[in-house]
Amino acid sequence: MNTSSRLRFGVVGVGVIGRLHVQRLLSADSPADLVAVADTSLEAGQAVGAEFGVDVEPSVDQLLGRDDVDAVVLAVPSGLHADAAVAALEAGKHVLLEKPLEVTVDAADRIIDAEKRSGKVLSVVSQRRFAPENQFLHHTIASGGLGRITTANIEIALWRSQEYYDSGAWRGTWALDGGGALMNQGVHLVDLALWLLGDVEEVYAHSGLLAHERIEVEDTITITARLRSGALLTFLATTTAFGDLPLRVAIMGDGGTAVTLAEKFTHFVASDGRELPAFEPADQQLGQLTDFVTAVQQGTAPLVTSAQARAAVAFIEAAYTSARTGRPVAPR
């Protein structure tokens, strides 16, 4: 293990998201160092290695076998997360895993079991928790600033072209994408909802493929959910909203109400008189990377734990089951 204060990373998968992780790790503000990259396409890996001046390993196994790699970022298709994460953990690496944890609860549990055996830190990319506005909202709800939460409404209404789905054979498949608008685009807001509101007892969903072709999964889903607290949630995820709409989160309680659009407050009132502070711009992804590095170095839990990431997968899996069966489903 590295005896210096800097954690040494490898990045597995150098597609669009993987490249962003490479750039972040190499940025002046990075709390860690990038050592090497690997990709199933050696040509893609070599191109990124040449562009950014980092080592390229011809296989993932060879990257995981390096003694100078303490941790890895895994940016591979969602349905391959379990195989990749288990291999990395068994190789003694800490793991920062792109969302979602996996595409099924059973596969997610494989990762969690390997994490427990390894004693290593694993976290899942859920950067919206690191927006200052969302952290303020979380603290406000937890401290009773909105009273008893009664209802919430979350909308993620985006546009993805047919070309987006046609751009990769894995896109829009159950096996590798794990779902459509909810699993791929909506999982960030599912994680945020559960972090803000707590556990869900039951979900009921309708889904459809309304504006795209040649994919197996939904491009639109609506969900109603009952939380353990008794609060009720409505949730929309779609990739059929041409031009996109800003992400909307509305939380209502008997002591206050908060609404954000694109993670900026448009409405806030609290019966105890508390007011919104000034929010400084923040790099959410860098915030999560820093949190992960701190957890590894200090032996603490990251803000996003594998158990919490599993809960998001369980919510989504239950919603898909409900949409197929026409019945309410309890997440498992």
pLDDT tens-digit map of 97-134: 999 999 999 999 999 999 999 999 999 999 999 999 99
Q: pTM of the prediction? A: 0.96
Q: What is the DSSP letter of 203?
A: E
| 77-103 pLDDT per residue, tens | 999 999 999 999 999 999 999 999 999
State the average pLDDT over residues 27-47.
97
- Beta bridge partners, 258, equal 251, 268
| 190-240 pLDDT per residue, tens | 999 999 999 999 999 999 999 999 999 999 999 999 999 999 999 999 999
Grouping H, G, I as helix, E, B as strand and the rest as coil, residue 327 is coil
Tally the C-alpha atoms within 13 A of residue 297's C-alpha that lie toward its C-beta: 15
Query: d(Cα 108, Cα 256) in Å, to the nearest integer?
Result: 36
What is the reported pLDDT for 3?
45
What sign has the CA pseudo-torsion 275, 278, 284, 289?
negative
> In the predicted model, is pLDDT for residue 144 greater than 60?
yes
What is the reported pLDDT for 68?
97
Map out the domains of the chain as residue ranges. 7-126, 128-285+312-325
Q: State the chain's mean pLDDT as an integer.
A: 97
What is the reported pLDDT for 5?
82
> In the predicted model, is pLDDT for residue 188 greater than 50?
yes
Q: What percent of the chain has pLDDT above 90?
A: 98
Burial status of residue 243 (CB atoms within 10 A of its CB: 0-12, 13-18, 19 or more): exposed
> In the predicted model, is pLDDT for residue 1 greater than 60?
no
The Cβ of residue 148 has, within 10 Å, a number of other Cβ atoms equal to 11
What is the reported pLDDT for 168?
86
| 160-185 pLDDT per residue, tens | 999 999 998 889 999 999 999 999 99
pLDDT band for position 19 (50/70/90)?
very high
Query: d(Cα 95, Cα 84) in Å, to the nearest integer?
Result: 10
Domain 7-126 CATH assignment equals 2.40.110.10: no
CATH code matching the domain that covers 128-285+312-325, chosen among 3.30.360.10, 3.30.1330.20, 3.40.50.300, 3.40.30.10: 3.30.360.10
Cα–Cα distances in Å, from 327 out to 66, 190, 193, 273, 331? 49, 20, 22, 42, 13
What is the reported pLDDT for 4?
57
- Beta bridge partners, 32, equal 7
State the average pLDDT over residues 245-272.
98
Token pair in block for residue 331: 């997440």
